[in-house]
Amino acid sequence: MSAVPHDAATEAPRRPLPETLLAALRTRFGERCSTAEAVRLQHGRDESPFPVTPPDAVVFCESSEEVAFVVRLAGEHRVPLIPYGTGSSLEGHLLAVQGGLSVDVSRLTRVLRIDADDLTATVEAGVTREQLNAELGLFFPVDPGANASIGGMAATRASGTNAVRYGTMRENVLALTVVTGTGEVVRTGTRARKSAAGYDLTRLFVGSEGTLGVMTELTVRLYPLPEAVSAAVCHFPDVASAVRTTIQTIQLGVPIARCELLDVNAVRAVNRQSGLGLREAPMLLMEFHGSPAGVQEQAETVQAIAAELGGEDFEWADTPEERSRLWAARHRAYFAGMQQHPGTRSVTTDTCVPISRLAEIVEASVADAEASGLPYYIVGHVGDGNFHLAYLVREGDAAQRATAEAMSERMVRRAIAMEGTCSGEHGVGLHKMGFLEEEAGAGGIALMRAVKQALDPLGILNPGKIFRA
Amino acid sequence: MSAVPHDAATEAPRRPLPETLLAALRTRFGERCSTAEAVRLQHGRDESPFPVTPPDAVVFCESSEEVAFVVRLAGEHRVPLIPYGTGSSLEGHLLAVQGGLSVDVSRLTRVLRIDADDLTATVEAGVTREQLNAELGLFFPVDPGANASIGGMAATRASGTNAVRYGTMRENVLALTVVTGTGEVVRTGTRARKSAAGYDLTRLFVGSEGTLGVMTELTVRLYPLPEAVSAAVCHFPDVASAVRTTIQTIQLGVPIARCELLDVNAVRAVNRQSGLGLREAPMLLMEFHGSPAGVQEQAETVQAIAAELGGEDFEWADTPEERSRLWAARHRAYFAGMQQHPGTRSVTTDTCVPISRLAEIVEASVADAEASGLPYYIVGHVGDGNFHLAYLVREGDAAQRATAEAMSERMVRRAIAMEGTCSGEHGVGLHKMGFLEEEAGAGGIALMRAVKQALDPLGILNPGKIFRA
């Protein structure tokens, strides 16, 4: 594992697209096949700090059959192919490190079915989470910060602030339509809530980051809108007390819906950007779902725990407007953090540990960050044991970047030693390939490679991601 | 798909165990390698109606390394190998249709760790669910009827009565130690609650029925014991009203912990066996978990729904003794059903459908069963859309067996047409191989076969199960 394991990947060999391939794409897709530089540049980056690495062409697909056509053609020519949704991934998933085609599914935006009685929806892969929730009198809970596509969220096994109660994409995708590495359109799973019928192909594709197939349709679980919702903010003298409050809440079995940590730096950034006027101290932002009485009971339990651990200024946000303002601010924390320090990009960690170890890893990592002198902030889905410490490094400053990557590496080593994971929700992409090797070990990597070889025998699906070539 | 697709499998070629293999096993395992007929017969059956099909030898393993030794040896000799826990599977999973070795892991009974603060436990594969729960001040919720081994439950993706609230083995296994098809000992997953680090190997092995590897250790999720528990029984004029009550309960988002249907035949059988004196009418047996106030609120909501749909005699079972008696009776329903008709075995269905279709499939299947004249009964985890209609056929009566299998086939076709699954929780084994082909389609089966070939290149792991050779 090297401190900056990913930059090497951009040095992989590239060869120009075969002319016959391009001609076939242009015949079928016309204007929807683009080699314009602006389009290629847009599709050669995500929200990671990596240098833009554009594909050779971008194809805007509008159906599973079109995706299958592109996959078969790419297979014939042994050309790499990267599925693209909204470009909001964080670990370099979308960079065309071996050139090839970007298969843009963002025009697959039809909500195909809402089965309200069954609490399921079937959508095309380019539908975004905000679009889906806007069409519902129900609730799709998985909410990464960005307004990501449902396909991209499944591909990276995304979660977000509601996962502590409602689970991640792992728990909330019931079935998929996938274009396989050989260009077949295959349906995995059914609309039944559970199944013991054969291998769990759905969960094999969820989190596979475009390396095993291209998702084109997804059937997801929905939830009734909670009868009552209440949010609360509580401040703490230090991050550790906030974390300990979370740990006790989870251990008591309180069905808290959201439990988010913001450190003082994140609160400050959010205040600047959103004018919220929050007290600038470490803080938990919590939400409770249930019946009116149930919500009150949960909140009182947590309030009592917080009070014992030094929590102060427990404040309610009961109106939808207040809640929206708080959660919008939370979701903007990532960009707010960077805006505090113009000209920087963020090197973001994503460890997730067994909850009993959370205070310990946060404290050690804060000490490391403080000693480095780099600006940083912390936000965390602490109810899951998952937090993000983002180091802000000046764009192009190799020394700062190396300092940040070295801290990130130390944090991952801590997490693995605590039986945790290098990625709670952002995925592996380019950035965490070395970390995954440490976490999964040679045996685990060998199994993953065997699966990759079996489902993508031509090696064309997002090559150079998840594991090194 | 043929009506009795499985019997053909028992005709597959067998060859005697190589003497050198047997000698190597005897040297390493001594008395723990047995070719005694009684031992072989015991390991050549499960709770399915198939003829006993014994392995050629049984090896009682006591560590991952011992399992790995057997797998490597079996690989060298290309001899099939079937993991064996408690023998309680229901679809012919354990039958040695191609001969070979039964690898008995029932002596792997150590509870390795209980991490109460993290709500996780790590156990060896032979630990049973009752053993695990007895050692806990916490709660492991997955409860198939039998006192199955945790390894077997994971291998068949088992669920049971608590799945509607707590999920199945799919949601409750965090990590595994697996012996792979090439005899490597590999750890999948960590103790973190969520992860986006690479392919979901854990969930690939869960439900793979011993065809991709042999599980030797499992890390599972635990839950705090609910502060309050309340159970209730409610009777209905017909099965459809009970099912509709369930549907509305789920649609309203009531976090009911258990919601079990027993038809009049099942109630009658349970009364005979357990002397419960329940009114002999279709019935829901429900349980609510939460705070005292929360439990009461949930129960009142369901009571109101039931009353609107013709439910009568809503009765509480608040003491632990009463509840235990009811749930013990429910768990014995399978055997009680058979005991009503001595000399019969049960052909059991296991469909699971989107909940809006549940009443319809139950009614159609009851009409079919009534017309057949065969004795039958229904129990169901109806909160998940999953139910079991068991046809009781005289042992050795081919005509009755064919009638039952034909009804089972019609029911599976109905379930698949309703976007449901042929197996909610029992797995595929021998019995549902033809059904899986219909459900997954050629594309899905091709993906599963590719995975099988990749992880079991020698084809030695429980061959002839899940898909036809």
The answer on B389 and B253 residing in a single domain is yes
pLDDT in tens, B244-259: 999 999 989 899 999 9
The confidence band for A1, taking pLDDT boundaries of 50, 70 and 90, is: very low
Q: Which chain B residue's Cα is nearest to A172? A: B171
Of A117, A247, A439, the CB nearest to B197: A439
Pick from A13-17, B107-111, B215-219: least confident = A13-17
CA torsion sign, B399 to B401 to B404 to B405? negative
Q: Among candidates A274, A337, A435, A270, which has minimal Cα distance to A47?
A: A337
Return the H-helix or E-strand segment holding A384: none
Question: Would you place residue A8 in the very low, low, confident or very high pLDDT band (cuts 50, 70, 90)?
Answer: very low
Is the predicted pLDDT of residue A9 greater than 50, yes or no? no
Q: Are residues B122 and B139 in the same domain?
A: yes
Share of chain B above pLDDT 90, in %: 85
Residue of B191, B297, B352 with shortest CB distance to A294: B297
pLDDT, tens digit, 9 for 90 and up, residues B47-60: 988 999 999 999 99
Q: What is the pLDDT of residue B276?
A: 84
Name the percent of chain A lying above pLDDT 90: 85
> Is the Cβ–Cβ distance between B449 and B440 less than 8 Å?
no
Same domain, A342 and A393: yes
**pLDDT at site B13:** 63
What mean pLDDT comes out for the span A18-25? 97
Tokens, residue A112? 């195909």
Q: Does B168 touch chain A (CB under 8 A)?
A: yes
Mean pLDDT for chain A overall: 94
Is the pLDDT reported for residue B7 higher than 60? no
Token pair listed for A420: 């945790």
Does residue B1 lie within any of the structural domains? Answer: no
Angle at A464 between CA A458 and CA A465, to 5 degrees: 110
- pLDDT higher than 50, residue A4: no
In whole angstroms, how far apart are CA A395 and each of A11, A334, B330?
Answer: 20, 16, 64
Domain enclosing residue B358, as ranges: 228-417
Say whether both A177 and A307 belong to one domain: no
Residue B115 near chain A (CB below 8 Å): yes
pLDDT at B193: 96
Cα(A82)–Cα(A61) distance, integer angstroms: 12
What would the mean pLDDT of A137-151 be, rounded to a whole number? 94
Integer Cα distance of B440 and B448 in angstroms: 9
Task: Report the pLDDT averaged over residues B438-467.
Answer: 97
pLDDT greater than 90 at residue A108: yes
pLDDT tens per residue across span A288-335: 999 999 999 999 999 999 999 999 988 888 888 889 888 888 888 888
Q: What is the mean pLDDT of residues A41-69?
A: 96
Query: CB-based contact (8 Å) between A160 and chain B?
Result: no
CB contact under 8 A, B443 and A180: yes
Q: Is A255 on the interface with B (CB under 8 A)?
A: yes
Phi-psi region of B209 (alpha: psi -120 to 50; beta: other; left: phi over 0): left
Secondary structure (3-state) at B83: strand
**The Cα angle at residue A211 between residues B176 and A73, in degrees rounded to 5:** 150
pLDDT at position B12, please? 55
DSSP-derived 3-state class of residue B381: strand
B71 and B18, same structural domain?
yes
Phi, psi for residue A386 in degrees, rounded to 5: -110, 130
Residue A315, domain member (yes or no):
yes
Q: How many CB atoms lie within 10 A of CB B423?
A: 32
Count of alpha carbons within 13 angstroms of residue A7, beta-carbon side: 10
B114: three-class secondary structure by DSSP: strand
Q: What pLDDT does residue A3 have?
A: 38
What pLDDT score was predicted for residue B156?
98
Residue of A nearest to B295 (CA): A294
Question: Average pLDDT of A45-60?
Answer: 94
What is the pLDDT at residue A105? 98
pLDDT band at A13 (very low <50, low <70, confident <90, very high): low
B438: exposed, middle or buried (Cβ count in 10 Å: 0-12, 13-18, 19+): middle
Residues facing B346 on adjacent strands? B392
A155 touches chain B (CB under 8 A): no
List phi, psi (to 5°) of B455.
-95, -15
Q: What are phi and psi of B125, to 5 degrees?
A: -65, -25
Angle at A225 between CA A220 and CA A228, to 5 degrees: 150
Q: Which of A207, A441, A467 sits opposite B200 (nearest CB)?
A: A207
**In the predicted model, what is the mean pLDDT of residues A64-68?**
98
* B166 in the same domain as B32: no
How many angstroms separate the Cα of B77 from the Cα of each of A220, A425, A426, B24?
A: 45, 43, 44, 11
Whether residue B291 and residue A294 make contact (CB cut-off 8 A), yes or no, is yes
Q: Concatenated DSSP letters for A270-290?
A: HHHHH-----SS-EEEEEEEE
Which of B116, B200, B224 is opposite residue A206, by nearest beta carbon? B200
Mean pLDDT score, B216-241: 95
First to last CA, chain B: 15
CB contact under 8 A, A196 and B466: no
Quick one: pLDDT at residue A274? Answer: 84
Does A296 contact chain B (CB < 8 Å)? no
Contact A354 B425 (CB under 8 A): no
What pairs with residue A316 in β-bridges?
A232
Decide if B280 touches A, using CB distance below 8 A. no
Q: Do residues B177 and B157 share a domain?
A: yes
Q: Are strands A33-34 and A101-104 parallel, antiparallel or unpaired?
A: unpaired
A468 belongs to a structural domain: no
Give the gap in angstroms from C-alpha A428 to the nearest C-alpha of chain B: 6
Identify whether residues A235 and A218 lie together within a single domain: no
- Per residue in A378-402, is it b (16+ CB within 10 Å) or e — as a string? bbbbbbbbbbbbbbbbbeeeeebbe
Cα dihedral sign, B299-B302-B308-B309 = negative
> Using one digit for the tens of pLDDT, what is the confidence trace for A86-105?
999 999 999 999 999 999 99
Q: CA-to-CA distance for A313 and B437, rounded, in angstroms?
A: 59
Question: Could you tell me what percent of chain A has a pLDDT over 70?
Answer: 97
Identify whether the C-beta of residue A173 lies closer than 8 Å to the C-beta of residue B431.
Answer: no
Angstrom distance (rounded) from CA A281 to CA A235: 6
Q: Region B254-277: what's the mean pLDDT? A: 92
What is the number of helices (H) and of strands (E) in chain A? 16, 18
How many A×B Cβ pairs under 8 Å?
A: 298
Q: How many beta carbons lie within 10 A of that of residue B169, not counting itself?
A: 27
How many angstroms separate the CA atoms of B289 and B225, rounded?
9
* Domain boundary residue, one of B107, B137, B162: B107
Residues B287 and B346 both lie in one domain: yes
The beta strands (E) that lie in B209-343 are given as: 213-221, 223-224, 228-235, 258-262, 283-290, 312-317
Radius of gyration of chain B (CA): 22
Same domain (yes/no): B69, B127: no
Domain boundary, last residue among A379, A395, A417 = A417
Residues facing residue A220 across a β-bridge: A121, A173
Instruction: Write the ipTM.
Output: 0.96
Selected residues 396-425 of chain A with any CB under 8 Å from a CB in chain B: 415-416, 419-425
Question: What CATH number does residue A323 fall under?
Answer: 3.40.462.10
Same domain, B30 and B89: yes
pLDDT digits (tens, 9 = 90+) for B133-159: 997 789 999 999 899 999 999 999 999
Among B370, B389, B417, the domain boundary falls at B417
Residue A321 to residues A327, A334, B301: CA-CA distances in angstroms?
A: 10, 21, 29
Q: How far is B55 from chain A (nearest CA, A)?
A: 23
| Residue A408 within a domain | yes
Specify if A144 maps to a domain.
Answer: yes
Contact yes or no for A188/A202 (Cβ under 8 A): yes
Query: pLDDT tens digit string along B433-451?
Result: 999 999 999 999 999 999 9
Residue B191 pLDDT exceeds 50: yes
Question: How many domains is chain A partitioned into structurally?
Answer: 2
Residues of B in contact with A289 (CB under 8 A): none
Two tokens at B269? 């059988």
Which residue in B349, B429, B462 sits closest to B156, CA to CA?
B429
3-state secondary structure of B139: strand
Both B168 and B303 in one domain: the answer is no
- Mutation choice for B interface testing from A173, A447, A461 by most B CBs within 10 A: A447
CATH for A123: 3.30.465.10
Task: Write out the H or E segment, with its range, that includes residue A222.
Answer: none
Rounded CA separation A84/A244 (Å): 39
Nearest-by-CA chain B residue for A465: B198
Tell me the pLDDT of chain B averaged across its residues: 94
